[in-house]
Amino acid sequence: MKKAKQTDTFGRRCTALMLILAICYGTLVWKLYVLTTDEKLQETAAAQQTYVIEAGKVRGTVYDCNLEPMTNRTRQWITAAVASPTAVTMLRRILPESTASGVLERLQKGKPVLLNGRLPQVPGILSIQVPVRYDAGGTAVHVIGYTDASGQGVCGIEKDWDAWLAEGGGTVRVRYSADAWGRTLNGAALEESRSGDGTAGVVLTIDRRIQQMAEQVAQESLEKGAVLIVESETGAVRAMVSVPTYDPDNAAQALSAPDSPMLNRALCSYNVGSVFKLVTACSALEAEFVLPEMQCSGSLLYHGRQFQCIYGRGHGKVGLERAVAVSCNGYFIRLADEVGAKSVYEMAQKLGFGREIVLTDSIRTTVGVLPSLQDLSAPAALANFSFGQGELLASPLQVAVMIQTIANGGVQIMPSLIAGTVDENGAFSASEPAVRERVLSEETAEAVKNAMRKAISGGTAAHAAPESGDAGAKTATAETGWYQDGEAVVQAWCAGFTEKYSIVVFAENGRSGSAACAPIFKQLADGLAELAGA
């Protein structure tokens, strides 16, 4: 009887144990089911198995006025590789020994690698194309600017339109599969993905063909200086060149280079010299005052001080037109004296001197120096002012405003650099049109243009005469009062117009406007004609 009771107790215990085990097993199965069906956990597991390599950044494009890209023009090959047997074998065979060791070591650790260049497509290797931001040598680098290592704009258009260009770009990525420890899975396929193609961007008024032509001429003929080409009827800047230049892909080197290659000399202020005689001429013509012809002996005694014409040479009998053509200082001293300092001063302001000219937030001229009316009350100061000497300083872009106004029949249009924008679909949206303002009468503008034509046909700007077409110019050799190696430093200019364009050539410490700048004006004018006929 006692044995039967013991057997019955043992059975109950076994049954209880089996029930407990069944409950535990059921609970485990339920938890596994939950784990395998939970959406968040599935996403986490998938993420652990997919890895991404960033192969390159795409930035929005800077276009010229014809919607030709000025950045992102070319592509380069980048190769992504993971540790597949085929990839490792090929890389060991084709890579230089100095490169192969590091690459293979990384692959053996299950890590991907990026290599420059294109390789044969085998399992574990994918070659893709990514944009090259700047052309070799660079075009319009002082306008476009450059980006830093993180891809952010540092100066120029890259800085001023940084947010827009960044938004218009994207990233080129390569995806591959790996285990939870990041080791590449055997036979893993590499896939390319892109977010944004860089179509969106900003459109400049620069004409890439004109810019490149002007750069070539300037780099061949100028050591330091600037060239500006502005469309006279619209004020659109078609070329802005500063020399020396720099490589935007190696901007750090340019920071400490001699001659300040990163300086945009088209925006800096310099002594102006005789191109300012056009302002004095305009003030007299607008006042309907014409000084009778005078005899120039090569110097003029004015309020007890002797002022000489260039080289002290006499010009004989000169009126306004001939005085512009031969650049007679004495005539313009007399003219300013008769018209008055206030008239010349106000005309200088109207024609762009003494004010900042803004193209973009960071591409803007210095204000320069425009002597005050009080300063000009001194006879010697007014005399110097009449032919662009003394304290007067201006930038090539400010001089270009004056030339554009004259060339456009007296209607001034402030220069523009931004033509509009392009969206991600390639659709162009134009900027607001520039404001037009009549500053001179048509008669005054035409009279000054005729005088500038005389300067080219037989005056100081004779070397600026193009092979064909209408053109006029004014040269200048501006004294600075500085000396370098015992020689006087002078700033040389040639500013004028062709049938369609206003052109300013500036040579820092040039020999003279006639020798250093007029021949460059001719090359530019002929180059523009050739491009127009192409």
- b/e for 224-238, b at 16 or more Cβ within 10 A? bbbbbbbbbbbbbbb
Instruction: Rank 111-125, 478-492, 508-522 by mean pLDDT and report only the highest.
Output: 508-522
The residue-averaged pLDDT of 226-246 equals 97
Q: What is the reported pLDDT for 452?
A: 98
Instruction: For residue 149, give every residue at least 6 positions away whose Cβ sits within 8 Å of its Cβ, in sequence order, or none.
Output: none
**Residue predicted with more confidence, 491 or 5:** 491
Per-residue pLDDT at 20 exceeds 80: no
User: Is residue 54 domain-resident?
Assistant: yes
Are residue 291 and residue 421 in the same domain, yes or no? yes
Least reliable range by pLDDT among 1-15, 137-151, 383-397: 1-15
- Give the whole-number percent of the chain exceeding pLDDT 90: 65
Number of domains composing the chain: 2
Are residue 105 and residue 218 in the same domain, yes or no? no
The count of other CB atoms within 10 Å of the CB of residue 397 is: 25
Whichever domain contains 514, its CATH number is: 3.40.710.10
Full domain range(s) for residue 446 = 208-533
Confidence of residue 256 (pLDDT cuts 50, 70, 90): confident
Q: What is the reported pLDDT for 17?
A: 60
CA distance 509 to 533: 35
Confidence of residue 191 (pLDDT cuts 50, 70, 90): confident
CA distance 529 to 534: 9
Q: What is the reported pLDDT for 398?
A: 98
Instruction: For residue 314, give every residue at least 6 positions away whose Cβ sits within 8 Å of its Cβ, in sequence order, or none.
Output: 296, 297, 298
Are residue 352 and residue 259 in the same domain, yes or no? yes
* pTM assigned to the model: 0.87
Least reliable range by pLDDT among 44-53, 79-88, 400-409, 453-462: 44-53
Are residue 123 and residue 191 in the same domain, yes or no? yes
Per-residue pLDDT at 511 exceeds 90: no
Per-residue pLDDT at 457 exceeds 60: yes
User: Is residue 34 domain-resident?
Assistant: no
Are residue 181 and residue 254 in the same domain, yes or no? no
Confidence of residue 152 (pLDDT cuts 50, 70, 90): very high
Could you report the per-residue pLDDT of 97-117, keeping only the tens digit for each?
888 888 888 888 878 889 999
CA distance 79 to 102: 16
The count of other CB atoms within 10 Å of the CB of residue 190 is: 24
User: Is residue 459 domain-resident?
Assistant: yes
Per-residue pLDDT at 186 exceeds 80: no
CA distance 156 to 139: 13
DSSP E strand stretches across 363-445:
393-394, 411-413, 418-422, 428-430, 436-438
Could you report the per-residue pLDDT of 29-53, keeping only the tens digit for each?
555 555 445 555 445 444 447 778 8
Are residue 233 and residue 186 in the same domain, yes or no? no
The residue-averaged pLDDT of 59-63 equals 96
User: Is residue 296 domain-resident?
Assistant: yes
| 159 touches 153 (CB < 8 A) | yes
Q: What is the dihedral of CA 130, 149, 365, 374, to 10 degrees?
A: 180
Residue of 523, 382, 519, 407 whose CA lies nearest to 463: 519
Residue of 259, 278, 327 whose CA lies nearest to 508: 259
User: Is residue 39 domain-resident?
Assistant: no
Least reliable range by pLDDT among 9-18, 212-221, 369-378, 405-414: 9-18
Q: What is the reported pLDDT for 379?
A: 95
Confidence of residue 474 (pLDDT cuts 50, 70, 90): very high
Could you report the per-residue pLDDT of 275-293, keeping only the tens digit for each?
999 999 999 999 998 888 9
| 369 touches 390 (CB < 8 A) | no
Could you report the per-residue pLDDT of 70-82, keeping only the tens digit for each?
999 999 999 998 8
Q: Give the 3-state secondary structure of 50-69.
A: EEEEEEEEECCEEECCCCCE
Confidence of residue 27 (pLDDT cuts 50, 70, 90): low
Cα 244 to the center of its chain, rounded Å: 14
CA distance 517 to 236: 22
User: Is residue 237 domain-resident?
Assistant: yes
Are residue 116 and residue 237 in the same domain, yes or no? no
Are residue 186 and residue 298 in the same domain, yes or no? no
Are residue 282 and residue 403 in the same domain, yes or no? yes
User: Is residue 159 domain-resident?
Assistant: no
Q: What is the reported pLDDT for 57?
A: 86
- Give the whole-number percent of the chain exceeding pLDDT 70: 89
Are residue 185 and residue 253 in the same domain, yes or no? no
Could you report the per-residue pLDDT of 335-352, keeping only the tens digit for each?
999 999 999 999 999 999
Could you report the per-residue pLDDT of 421-437, keeping only the tens digit for each?
999 999 999 999 989 99
Are residue 193 and residue 279 in the same domain, yes or no? no
Are residue 272 and residue 342 in the same domain, yes or no? yes
Least reliable range by pLDDT among 27-41, 109-123, 186-200, 433-447: 27-41
Mean pLDDT of the chain: 89
User: Is residue 35 domain-resident?
Assistant: no
